[in-house]
Amino acid sequence: MSFISIEFLLFFAIIVFTYYLIPHRFRWVLLLVASYVFYAILSIQFVPLLLASTVFTYFSGIVIEKQETKRQKKNAMLVGISVLLLFLGWFKYVNFVNESLRAVANYFNLNYSIPYQEIVLPLAISFYTLQAVSYLVDIYHGKQKAERHYGYFSIFFAFFPQLVAGPIERAKKLLPQLKAEHSLNYENLSYGMKRIAWGFFKKTLIADRLAPIVSSVFDNPNPTGSQIVLATILFSIQLFADFSALSDIAIGCARMLGIKLAENFKQPHFAVSISDFWNRWHITFSTWLRDYIFFPLCKGKKKRSDIYAAIVITFLVSGIWHGAAWTFVIWGLIHGFYRVFGDYTKHLRGEVASFIHLDRNPVFHKWVKIAITFLLVCFSRVFYRSDSVTQAFENAQLFLSISSWNPLGIVKAFEIFTLLDLVIFVFFFIVFQLFQYIERKNVSTWKLLSQRPTFVRFAFYIFIILSVLIFGVTGKGFIYGGF
């Protein structure tokens, strides 16, 4: 039962109707049952693992809080985190490490007899593990009380709108909302349905329409350089539309239940630097990395070299978290290099901009920075999208080749589209960009629409629904749903 399905919409409609029909004291039971039913439909074989992780984290939090000394609390926290990471490591990384050791052994002509392990990655384990780790760390630091109500804690751990791929929530924010009594509110229902519909729009009319186009290039053993350039740019659009659509649906579903989840994206492809990009992209994950990896690594450090090392390690963790493959490791290191290089050259770049008088035209200067940042992000995504390190470096070489950027070659590369697919994509992409343009003017598009006449509002809503029904296509699920 994917988010993008009639089955899910019916399932969720029943949950919302029942939620406001029953007394508040029983709602946690409904949400808990709904969350486990949803997870079981998607991945029933890993329900026991989800239960075990929940029970372990619940009692670990209580044990940490009961310790008398800070050292005892720290030891209990480290044990809890180690076990959670052991679960994650076994299911997600054991074959990555195993095959990497095999490759090293083969290189040195050594015997390596440990076979490949047939392990299936449990759905959402990367996401609920991060929430669990943050919960235990916050208890250790005294920022969060250990939750005693097992039911509410279980919902925090497996809340179905955001279980599959976030946003990654903190217990301090989500638990009080789960416990609060929410009354039926028209604004919440209206806003939630709009966000869900907008998520469907981005997923079915942009992301899933681009998916086969992008795959046709990256699955081609001999793509042209211009095709790699175009496909990589299109993949960046696809990835953003796909992941932000998933967040839209999660946020919309939660809002209809009276719960506000954190925003996960803020138009990242309009960032003016790599630092700005990570403040806009997968925001809840970026802040998790900042609070639980970067800040601890930087504690007590004053040397710039130490801070740069912490930055690189943080992005290395980001790469490893995204996938058990060297392509993701390299992708993470590339962003670490970007971030360090950007900070190290910040003053020099300002002087260059002043010398060539670029800073005298702030608007043009801003768009130059946006374009450079976007292209840097696109280059890193060559590694993100490629299936192997060898293929990634071959594609990266093509991406960087000057001839690949020949305008005539780029135009010819559009042959990867059929004419009909191109027209449909361009039309809905323009609609998407108009939506983002309004948002960049610091005006909520939905708020702006609410101020329009009833006919205009409902004409737009009907346009979204009919567009999805008539022109929308569905793919193999969400990209981040596989993490």
Q: State pLDDT tens for residues 138-160.
A: 999 999 999 999 999 999 999 99
Asked if 180 and 222 sit in the same domain, the reply is no
Q: Closest by alpha carbon to 223, among 381, 377, 386, 402?
A: 386
Query: CA torsion sign, 254 to 258 to 264 to 269?
Result: positive
427-460 tens-digit pLDDT = 999 999 998 898 888 777 888 888 888 888 889 8
* Residue 167 preceded by cis peptide, ω within 30: yes
pLDDT in tens, 224-260: 999 999 999 999 999 999 999 999 999 999 999 999 9
Judge whether residue 111 has pLDDT over 90: no
Are residues 180 and 202 located together in one domain of the fold? no
Residue 282 φ then ψ, to 5°: 40, 60
| pTM, two decimal places | 0.92
Given a cut of 70, whether residue 413 has pLDDT beyond it is yes
- In sign, the C-alpha dihedral spanning 226, 228, 231, 234 is negative
**Is the same domain home to 368 and 463?**
yes
Do 270 and 192 fall within a single domain? yes
The verdict on 194 and 180 lying in the same domain is no
Residue 138 lies in a domain: yes
> Same domain for 174 and 223?
no
Burial of 398-419, coded b for 16+ CB within 10 Å and e otherwise, reads: bbeeeebeeeebbeebeebbee
Tokens of residue 37, six digits: 């039913």
Tally of domains in the chain: 2
Tell me whether residue 263 is in a domain: yes
Helix axes 419-440, 454-471, angle to 10 degrees: 140
Contacts of 43 by beta carbon, 8 Å cutoff, 6+ apart: 122, 123
Rounded Cα distance between 367 and 270, Å, is: 8
pLDDT the model gives residue 483: 60
> For residue 332, what pLDDT is reported?
95
Residues 6+ positions from 203 with CB-CB distance below 8 Å: 4, 241, 242, 245, 246, 472, 478
Share of residues in the chain with pLDDT > 90 (%): 72
Q: Which of 210, 220, 145 is nearest to 473 (CA)?
A: 210
At which of 125, 158, 184 does a domain end? 184
What phi, psi does 417 have (nearest 5°)?
-90, 150
Q: What pLDDT does residue 421 have?
A: 93
Task: Return the closest-CA partner of residue 133 out of 144, 117, 122, 119.
Answer: 144
Do 145 and 257 belong to one domain?
A: no
Q: Are residues 25 and 136 in the same domain?
A: yes
pLDDT of residue 479 exceeding 80:
no
Indicate the angle between helix axes 6-21 and 27-43, nearest 10 degrees. Answer: 160
245-259 burial code (b ≥16 CB/10 A, e <16):
bbbbbbbbbbbbbbb
Residues 14 and 76 in one domain: yes
Same domain? For 125 and 245 the reply is no
Would you give the end-to-end CA distance of the chain in angstroms?
A: 17
Q: Name the domain boundary from 184, 213, 231.
A: 184
What is the C-alpha separation between 430 and 280, in angstroms, rounded? Answer: 21
On the question of pLDDT at 480 being above 80, the answer is: no
Average pLDDT over the chain reads 91
Kindly state whether residues 265 and 213 are assigned to the same domain: yes
3-class DSSP assignment, residue 321: helix
Q: Hey, what are 388's tokens?
A: 């192997």
Residue 1 covered by a domain: no
Last residue of a domain, one of 139, 162, 184: 184
| Cβ-proximal residues to 149 (8 Å cutoff; 6+ apart), any chain | 28, 179
Does 298 reside within a domain? yes
* Chain segment 258-315, per-residue pLDDT in tens: 999 999 999 999 999 999 999 999 999 999 999 999 999 988 777 888 999 999 999 9
Same domain, 160 and 61: yes
* pLDDT band at 482; cut points 50, 70, 90: low
State pLDDT tens for residues 7-62.
Answer: 999 999 999 999 999 999 999 999 999 999 999 998 899 999 999 999 999 999 99
Given this model, what pLDDT does residue 481 score?
64
Boundaries of domain holding 138: 6-184
- What residues act catalytically? 322
What type of residue sits at position 453? P
State residue 160's pLDDT score: 92
Can you tell me the distance from the alpha carbon of 207 to that of 475, in angstroms, rounded to the nearest whole number?
9
